[in-house]
């Protein structure tokens, strides 16, 4: 069966960390920007780039998360998040970890989907979970409107953890952690990448050519940047600068969920999996990629736009 002409909201995501139903009743503005990523694929990096392009200055008066709230996360009551966004007078850029089949769609809204090699995502996700304070889960439970179940403990063995994580990719189970399912997440956008209001962005391309990708994003968002401003905006978006300003730029810093904010910007590198994952894990990974993704998407996820062009 062919896909509908435009994306449809056909699936509900209810997880320990987030609920896609928090989008219910939200009113878009015609120039809204949705930053749509699986966890640990460059979300905060893309939020920072959007902030730099919109405000065209390198110093922010407030934490980044206050300019660009995460709609889905259960760390605040949803009416508070909606009110915060309603009160914003600047062009809104909203973070979401909900796949496209769980999001409301508008032709007037810009959607930026960011992908990354799933093997790198897994290692970054491991560091991310270890850095989160246990108290954050209790806050999520208190703000949940659906049945809430805590996450299963992660296996001590890294190989076992990876095998379970990649094997569950593209799951339709009700308690499936869709925000960390890179394959399904990116695939929901990939099917509609031809639409003029959907941009596919890749972590590796940002690392390889930050200025070029920032200019590409600016063009997609119809934002004009004076040529003289580009060097300082690009420098402000560098990994090193963002790590140095982790107390202001790390996500949810206002909710006190991190043991160490600077650890959120851990290494920012690619290919660490080569020294970590064994033959069994890589065999299963390749099998899952071949079975569940079209070849072009699988190649893009691993290498990015510039290497597959």
pLDDT digits (tens, 9 = 90+) for 66-101: 999 999 999 999 999 999 999 999 999 999 999 999
Cα dist from 218 to 3, 92, 172, 210, whole Å: 29, 15, 35, 12
Q: What is the pLDDT of residue 1?
A: 47
Q: What is the pLDDT of residue 194?
A: 97
Cα dist from 150 to 17, 127, 136, 210, 271, whole Å: 9, 19, 11, 37, 31
- Mean pLDDT by runs of 10 across the 309 residues of the chain is 83 93 97 95 94 96 94 95 97 97 97 95 76 81 92 86 92 84 96 98 94 98 98 94 80 66 59 85 96 96 78
Q: Report the SS3 class of residue 225.
A: coil
Q: What is the pLDDT of residue 124?
A: 79
**What strands lie across the sheet with 198-202, from one edge to the other?**
93-96, 33-36, 110-115, 198-202
pLDDT digits (tens, 9 = 90+) for 170-186: 988 877 888 889 999 99
Dist. CA 253–CA 146, nearest whole Å: 25
pTM: 0.92
Cα dist from 74 to 100, 140, 180, 264, whole Å: 19, 5, 16, 19
All structural domains of the chain, each given as residue ranges with its CATH number in brackets, are 20-308 (3.40.50.300)
Task: List % helix, strand, coil for the chain (3-state, nearest 5).
Answer: 50, 10, 40
Which residues are part of the catalytic machinery?
A: 97
Report the candidate in 307, 244, 223 with the shortest Cα–Cα distance to residue 49.
223
Measured in Å, how far apart are the chain's first and last C-alpha atoms?
28
Dist. CA 164–CA 166, nearest whole Å: 6
């Amino acid at each position: 069966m062919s896909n509908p002409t435009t994306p449809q909201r056909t699936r509900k995501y209810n997880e320990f960390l987030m609920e896609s139903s928090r989008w219910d009743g939200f009113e878009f503005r015609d120039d809204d920007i949705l930053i749509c990523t699986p966890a640990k694929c460059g979300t905060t990096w893309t939020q920072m780039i959007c902030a730099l392009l919109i405000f065209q200055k390198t110093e922010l008066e407030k934490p980044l998360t206050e300019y660009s709230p995460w709609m889905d996360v259960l760390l605040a009551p949803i009416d508070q998040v909606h009110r915060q966004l309603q009160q914003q007078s600047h062009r809104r850029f909203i973070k979401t970890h909900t796949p496209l089949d769980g999001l409301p769609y508008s032709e007037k809204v810009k959607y930026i989907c960011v992908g990354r090699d799933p093997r790198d995502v897994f290692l970054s996700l491991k560091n991310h979970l270890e850095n989160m304070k246990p108290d954050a889960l209790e806050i999520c439970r208190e703000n949940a409107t659906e049945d809430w179940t805590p996450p299963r403990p992660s296996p001590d063995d890294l190989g076992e953890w990876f095998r379970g994580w990649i094997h569950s990719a593209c799951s339709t189970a009700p308690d499936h952690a869709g925000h960390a399912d890179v394959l399904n997440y990116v695939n929901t956008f990939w099917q509609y990448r031809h639409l003029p209001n959907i941009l596919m962005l890749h972590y590796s391309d940002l690392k390889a050519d930050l200025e070029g990708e920032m200019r590409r994003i600016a063009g997609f968002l119809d934002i004009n940047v004076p040529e003289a401003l580009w060097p300082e905006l690009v420098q402000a978006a560098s990994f090193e600068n963002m790590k140095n300003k982790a107390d202001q730029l790390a996500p949810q810093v206002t909710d006190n969920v991190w043991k160490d904010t600077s650890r959120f910007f851990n290494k920012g590198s690619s290919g660490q999996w080569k020294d970590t994952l064994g033959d069994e894990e890589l065999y299963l990974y390749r099998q899952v990629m071949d079975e569940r993704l079209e070849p072009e998407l699988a190649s893009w996820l691993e290498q990015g736009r510039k290497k597959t062009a």
